[in-house]
Structure 1
Amino acid sequence: MNKSQQNKIKWYMLSFMCFSTLWGFGNVLNGFVYFNGTQVIFSWILMFALYFVPYALMVGELGSAFKNSGGGVSSWIHETTGAKAAYYAGWTYWACHVTYIASKGSGGLKALSWMIFQNAEKYASFNTKAVQLVTFAVLLFFCWVASRGLNPLKKLATLAGTSMFVMSILYILLMFAAPVINPNGGYLSVDFSLKNLIPHFDWKYFSSLSILVFAVGGCEKISPYVNKVEDPSKGFPKSMIFAAIMVIVCAIFGTIAMGMMFDVSLVEANFDSYNANGQYWAFQKLGEYYGVGNLIMIIYAACNAIGQFSTLVVSIDAPLRMLLDNEDARQFIPTKLLKKNKFGAYVNGIWMVVILSGSIILAQVLVPNADTVLRQLTQLNSVTMPMRYLWVFFAYFMLRKHSDKFEREYRFVKNNGVALGFGAWCFILTAACCLLGMYKQGDLYTTMLNVITPVVLVALGLILPAIKKREGKSA
């Protein structure tokens, strides 16, 4: 066996890499809460069969075609379309993180509250204005950390992500073992009748689909490993399909486990509370079943707090560097944004994060309570974050449109027309889910936030090249 063969990744190793980066306990909770409990199982299966599997296999082909390109989606767009389109792709990736950053502070404070007070009521009782001001202070602190070139939390982010993944698997295993160990735990029976499993296809259902798209997106992170798999043409699709099966199994069994704990009618009646606290209640109940009190919940809350805050600092720094370090994108970005301080940090770019993410945080001082803030941020992220996936499908569409120009070891499908159809389907589905997710029936404030935020971010991305062009004329 030669050295290159020794360095190849086994297909099942890539499956576990994809699975661990893609899946988390929050996905199970969001599916259960937003899709009427066990009825989400039907939607999970459809989403993985019709969206995730083709998405992952398209990413594989892009990664194989541009194996020497280090910039991910922006590099794919640059190769297939051009520099300006690559800038817009990079901008979209960064802009999506503006809302994500705004949610991490709130999520971290919620986790700390559960870790310290061990109940849902304390955090909900806090004055919303005070909570949002503290959240803004947290943002300022971590922006300061990023501006000093200090990123001590990057390793913690990886560690916390791994521990959260382990906790989500542990939850399913412990929950299914609980009735055997403690038969009198007070579990609910899950109704598996067809009537209870088929969802109601109403406006609420379609306007919530962006939650599922958000949950299964992001597999472009594994694209650099496509050509490192043994026999990519067979190994890569096998690994992605196996990863999809693992996630479907976790989604289904995680949902059933929640169905054994929570009454769906109570979730509907107390939606914001379950959206904000469901994950902690789940681990709290698990501790009760095993007679260890709040121990399991405290461990989960600690992992979540570390994960939220470490992800916050990484999300301030990494996407900004990906955008501003890109030589192809820099020609469209005003000079002032490219300014670095003595620590090598893009200080004006970080100020832009403070202004945009801070505006979202401060806008929510008008929201009635802290739990509602968390629900709004979940819905806002589900609308904005999937917008970056649109560029993946656009890049794939352009790759297959100019298929003869690019050599690759792996192809999703041989037929070009079928490939273009898959690219168009995933693009349209993503765009439709984002647009439908913006409107929240009976909640004008959330709807306005969901519409105004993407519009402002897109407009800013269009304005910056114009400012750069004016700089060139005045020079």
Structure 2
Amino acid sequence: MSNAEARNLRWYNIALMAFVSVWGFGNVVNNYANQGLTVVTSWILIIALYFVPYALMVGQLGSTFKDGRGGVSTWIKETMGPTLAYLAAWTYWVVHIPYLAQKPQGIMIALGWVIKGDGSFVKEFSPLVLQVICLVVFLFFLWISSKGISSLKRIGTVAGIAMFIMSLLFIVLAVSAPMMTDIKVATENMSVDTFIPDFNFAYFTTISMLVFAVGGCEKISPYVNNTKNPTREFPKGMLVLAGMVALCALLGSFAMGILFDANNIPADLKMNGQYYAFQMLGEYYGFGNFFLLLYAVANTLAQISALAFSIDAPLKVLLADADDRYVPRGLTKTNKNGTPINGYIMTAVLVSILIIVPVFGIGNMNSLFNWLLDLNSIVMPLRYLWVFLAYMALVKAIDKFGSEYKFVKNNKIGFFIGLWCFVFTAFACLMGMFPKVEAFTSEWYFQLALNVLTPFILIGLGLILPLIAKRTNGKYKEAN
């Protein structure tokens, strides 16, 4: 196949692929649960001041390093050297640990809605018992992934597309409901004040969830080299992505305001809101629990696939081209299925700790679910920091790399925008560490301690591995 034939993706393919991987119905539900209808203004601000420049920076980085296959780690390696590239790759992997710890919860909740048609299933267990079940579920799928079984991932792709379609269907059905049915809008007496946030301390503790929602478009960067005219079409795809996210965020949040009173948000909306929404729409349109069941089945399969994929793919990104200076060779040892088995053991240990330890200080399942979701919003955006570092390094050495596409022509302005996005992301992560439960209780202090320690421990482990590699890799060579 010629190079020209390989470049068959257009800007709209890039935009759609990125949208499916970045956006989900949960982004709407979780941020509405945090802010109510004031989130509409928050979406406008976060998309205009953060997501659009972020997406266009990815566009410039992707088109500049269009032959690189490692995404962010390649960008860092080219602009800042191999040591920081290793830390970027480590960050990309390790931030998935809280994500993996929550996925079994998501599977149990979705399965409960399939079985019982309501959210009572997980409430039948004590938090400790449920987390032990979640640990068993995680270890089972870790074992499945170690066997190199990919069918779950293929099923999950279909389920993920189905969930994406249903997320768009939700917007259409919910926005149309007051006109098509006899329901009343749940949030009464909407006015301009309904959409204006109070920019206080409590508000700023919720912005990490917004950053978490719009981040991740750099995952599409490995496809730059498969794009027709990547210098022009890849950045264009990123811009269209930003428009699609803005449309879904704004309409989705408004639709939530139709179904759920913004002044009286259910305490378990983050955990069960997606299911409540489809259950309500089914009742309004005379379909009973049909929409609910369809969404719950699709979500169960998608959660299972996401768990299996997120165990395997990020670890292989970290270990596939591991540098002996930074990664102990023992971690790269593979079984007959090509699975880095010691890397899987490391994953199992870290995730198991994060599943079990919190249950001793967090009293109920809803609080546990919300805390782990909030922890994801603190930890996951840490990987976005490397995107902004790479962009700042790129514009400082722009003459060396010669970017054909420039997000901003003035390099000083470009550097300032990269610095703004970096500082804002770090600020959002820092503010997200403050718990969303009653302040200064024992649970508040427990959650705060976990929120502060977890990212430092996870990132800190990445600093220890090169020391281990230095001591062991030489011995490994001698033994072989």
- Give the equivalent residue in structure 1 for 2:45: 46
Bigger shift: residues 131-140 or 9-18 = 9-18
Q: CA deviation at 1:157?
A: 2.5
Q: Counterpart of 2:253?
A: 255
Contact 2:63 2:231 survives alignment (8 Å)? no
Q: Distance in 1 between matches of 2:333 and 2:473?
A: 17
1-structure distance, mates of 2:189, 2:45:
20
Letter in 1 for 2:387: V
Shift of 1:228: 5.4
Conserved? CA contact 2:327–2:466, under 8 Å: yes
Could you tell me which residue of structure 1 aligns to residue 71 of structure 2?
Answer: 72
Q: How many residues align?
A: 468
Amino acid at match of 2:78: E
**Take 2:424 and 2:372, find their aligned partners in 1: how far apart are those partners?**
22
2:428 to 433, 444, 447: 433
Is 1:398 aligned to residue 393 of structure 2? yes
Per the alignment, residue 28 of structure 2 pairs with 28
Q: Which letter does structure 2 place at the counterpart of 1:32?
A: Y
TM-score, with length taken from structure 1? 0.94
Q: 1:20 to 1:102 in 2, by over 3 A?
A: same
Q: Does 1:217 align with 2:215?
A: yes
> Deviation at 1:6?
9.9
Whether the 8 Å CA contact 1:30–1:275 is kept in 2: the answer is yes
Residue 384 of structure 2 is aligned to residue 389 of structure 1: yes
Q: Does 1:276 align with 2:277?
A: no
- Structure 1: tracts of 5 or more residues without a match: none
Compute the displacement of 1:63 (Å): 0.9
C-alpha separation in 2, matches of 1:96 and 1:57: 23
TM-score normalised to structure 2 length: 0.93
Letter matched to residue 219 of structure 1: C
Residue deviations 1:402-450, cap 9 Å, x none?
1111133322111110111111111111111111111226222221221
User: In the aligned structure 1, how far is the partner of 2:57 from the partner of 2:138?
Assistant: 36
| Equivalence map 1:225-264=2 (5 Å) | 225-226=223-224, 232=230, 234-264=232-262
Q: Which secondary structure does the structure 2 equivalent of 1:344 belong to?
A: coil
* Residues 18 and 190 of structure 1, relative CA distance in 2, 3 Å threshold: farther
Give the match for residue 359 of structure 2. 365
User: 1:343–1:237: structure 2 CA closer, same or farther, 3 Å change rule?
Assistant: closer
Return the offset for 1:230. 5.5
Q: Residues of 2 paired with 1:243 and 1:150: CA distance?
A: 32
* Aligned partners of 2:187 and 2:260 also within 8 Å: no
> 1:283-313: per-residue Cα shift (whole Å, max 9, x none)?
1100100111111111111111111111001
**Separation in structure 2 between the aligned mates of residue 227 and residue 282 of structure 1, nearest angstrom:** 40
Aligned-pair CA distance for 1:232: 5.0
Which secondary structure does the structure 1 equivalent of 2:121 belong to? helix
Contact residue 324 and residue 330 of structure 1 kept, 8 A: no
Alignment of 1:57-456 (within 5 A): 57-183=56-182, 185-189=183-187, 191-226=189-224, 232=230, 234-267=232-265, 270-271=266-267, 273-327=268-322, 329-366=323-360, 367-440=362-435, 442=439, 443-456=444-457
2:7–2:225 contact (8 Å) kept in structure 1: no
1:145/1:151 contact within 8 Å kept: no
Letter in 1 for 2:193: K
Take 1:330 and 1:159, find their aligned partners in 2: how far apart are those partners?
A: 38
Once residues 3 and 433 of structure 2 are traced to their aligned partners in structure 1, the CA distance between those partners, rounded to angstroms, is 52
Report the secondary structure of 1:264's partner residue: coil
With 245-254 and 345-354 compared, the bigger mean Cα shift is at 245-254
- State the shift of 1:91 in Å: 0.5
Q: 1:190 to 1:217 in 2, by over 3 A?
A: farther
Aligned partner of residue 265 in structure 1, secondary structure: coil
Counterpart-to-counterpart distance in 1, 2:218 and 2:195: 31
Contiguous gaps of at least 5 residues in structure 2? none
**RMSD (CA atoms):** 2.0
**Residues 236-245 or 388-397, more deviating:** 236-245
In the alignment, the residues of structure 2 paired with residue 372 and residue 67 of structure 1 have an alpha-carbon distance, to the nearest angstrom, of 44
More divergent stretch after superposition (406-415 vs 249-258): 406-415
| 1:454-473 pair list within 5 angstroms | 454-471=455-472
**Does the CA contact (< 8 Å) of 2:6 and 2:226 recur in 1?**
no
Question: What's the CA shift for 1:104?
Answer: 0.6
Cα deviation code 1:310-358 (max 9, x no counterpart): 100111111111101124x343111221221222211111111111011
Shift of 1:29: 0.2
SS of the residue corresponding to residue 266 of structure 1 reads coil
CA distance in 1, matches of 2:137, 2:113: 18
Q: Do 1:232 and 1:409's aligned partners in 2 also have CA atoms closer than 8 Å? A: no
How far, CA to CA, are the matches of 1:446 and 1:239 in structure 2?
Answer: 39
